[in-house]
Amino acid sequence: MAREFVVTADGGSRGNPGAAAYGATVSENGVLLAELYDLLGIASNNVAEYSGLIAGLKKAHELDPQAKIHVKMDSKLVVEQMSGRWQIKHPDMRELANQARSIHPMGLITFQWIPRAENSHADRLANKALDSGVPAHSKTILNYLTERLVSDEVPTTIWFVRHGETTLTPTRKFSGTGPMDPPLTDIGIAQAGAVAKEIAARKPEFLIASPLMRTIMTAKEVSDATGLEPIFDDQWVECDFGHWEGLTPSEVGEKHPEEWTGWLSSLSYRPGGGESYAEVYSRVVAGIIDLVEKYPGKKICVVTHNIVIRAIAAYAMNASLESMYYVDILPCSITTLAVWPSDGLRALKSLSERVVAK
């Protein structure tokens, strides 16, 4: 079944033309997946509105290039033009409309006009960009990142810890959310003890964990070392590999060659009838947004899994989803993410940081 995203978008110009910005959101089943906003420099209201639409469509397409997208905007002009009911006479608008149409298959997109009061989230983001001075496109991301890193705002720091070695880890068998639910080996327990000491030295304020046996056991070691009571949250469980559970990659290739080919060719494919990488990515993004909103400026340890942390790395670096195929996370390693609550800027500060037992 195709995924269905809702994109809301808005834009505004103080002067028309004047200082302009856009805002957009992407959500799925009522869960917010992304907030997008930026300054545009000097532009008109219509350019800003189209820019919000383009940003929202790009993000939705990145999350799943085969998804259905329902766009909601309070701009009658953009909705009617993109629906093909109104002609686009201005050449600049035609160029922006063509750009929007090229992002995602138009047959998968529907457009709906909504009253301004129902588009308050996207409108608020556009005004946030204008009020807070989010960088215009003429300003380099490097300069902006440097400014944010030296600012006085305290970021939310999240240490993502992969669980220790399980009975399936040495053979690299698929291990998701299935009934096998493998425990840690003696080696895995030692790894968990080592990473627990390192995490304790960093003084986290909250401990969150996936509620699977291997993460429960790892979180117990962290809990013992830090004195923090773990909060178990399904948001951080591993990818569901369906009936691939317990098989090695070569065994899947031999027993289910068509499924294996499908999985390698599409991030929207559900391995073994389980959960796609695109779905894991969406779940992880929503989880990070929730953590930053709930614990702004705090230090958090999250005990989770390999595929989940791969998705975190892709999100942190704004990389393509395909990058998840090219990352591997060591057992009981630490991946550090900093997120600035005021504008959502994120920085990957370490990836699969090895902790050696002493």
What is the average per-residue pLDDT within 146-159?
77
Q: Which of the residues are catalytic?
A: 163, 238
The 10s digit of each residue's pLDDT in 89-102 is: 888 788 899 999 99
What is the per-residue pLDDT for 18? Answer: 80
pLDDT bracket for residue 320 (50, 70, 90): confident
Please report the sign of the dihedral spanned by the C-alpha atoms of residue 132, residue 133, residue 135, residue 141: negative
302 or 343, higher pLDDT: 302
The 10s digit of each residue's pLDDT in 76-86 is: 999 999 998 89
What is the per-residue pLDDT for 148? Answer: 56
Residue with tokens 């930026």: 38
Please name which of 169, 222, 158 lies closest in space to residue 194, comparing C-alpha atoms. Answer: 222
What is the per-residue pLDDT for 137? Answer: 40
Average pLDDT, the chain: 90
157 or 127, higher pLDDT: 157
Structure tokens at 57: 């469509």
Q: Are strands 109-113 and 156-162 parallel, antiparallel or unpaired?
A: unpaired
What is the per-residue pLDDT for 317? Answer: 85
Structure tokens at 200: 């304790």
What is the per-residue pLDDT for 318? Answer: 75
pLDDT bracket for residue 194 (50, 70, 90): very high
Helices marked H in the chain: 45-63, 76-82, 91-101, 120-132, 141-149, 186-202, 213-226, 249-255, 257-265, 277-294, 306-316
What is the per-residue pLDDT for 135? Answer: 47
What percentage of residues in the chain have a pLDDT greater than 70? 93
For residue 157, the surrounding DSSP H or E stretch is strand 156-162
Q: End-to-end distance of the chain based on CA atoms, in angstroms?
A: 49
| Strand order, beta sheet including 31-43 | 31-43, 18-28, 4-14, 68-73, 109-113
Q: Is pLDDT of 54 > 80?
A: yes
What is the average per-residue pLDDT within 223-247?
97
Structure tokens at 236: 């951080």
CA–CA distances in Å: residue 169 to residues 177, 219, 270, 312, 326? 14, 18, 21, 21, 18
How far does CA 282 lie from the centroid of its chain? 5
Please name which of 281, 299, 307 lies closest in space to residue 336, comparing C-alpha atoms. Answer: 299
| Separation of alpha carbons 108 and 233, rounded Å | 33
Which stretch, 125-139, 147-161, 330-344, has highest mean pLDDT? 330-344
Q: Is pLDDT of 175 > 90?
A: yes
CA–CA distances in Å: residue 218 to residues 185, 212, 313, 358? 11, 10, 21, 17
Structure tokens at 281: 């990515």
| Strand order, beta sheet including 156-162 | 231-232, 206-209, 299-304, 156-162, 334-339, 346-353
Please tell me the least confidently modeled range out of 3-12, 89-98, 242-251. 89-98
Structure tokens at 355: 């902790």
Q: Is pLDDT of 312 > 80?
A: yes
What is the per-residue pLDDT for 357? Answer: 67
Q: Is pLDDT of 150 > 60?
A: no
What is the per-residue pLDDT for 155? Answer: 92
Structure tokens at 152: 């006085």
pTM of the model: 0.66
Residue ranges and CATH numbers for the domains of the chain are 4-138 (3.30.420.10), 156-353 (3.40.50.1240)
Structure tokens at 289: 């947004």
Q: Is pLDDT of 249 > 90?
A: yes
What is the per-residue pLDDT for 139? Answer: 39
Query: Phi and psi for 168 in degrees, rounded to 5?
Result: -100, -15
What is the per-residue pLDDT for 15? Answer: 80
Q: Is pLDDT of 138 > 50?
A: no
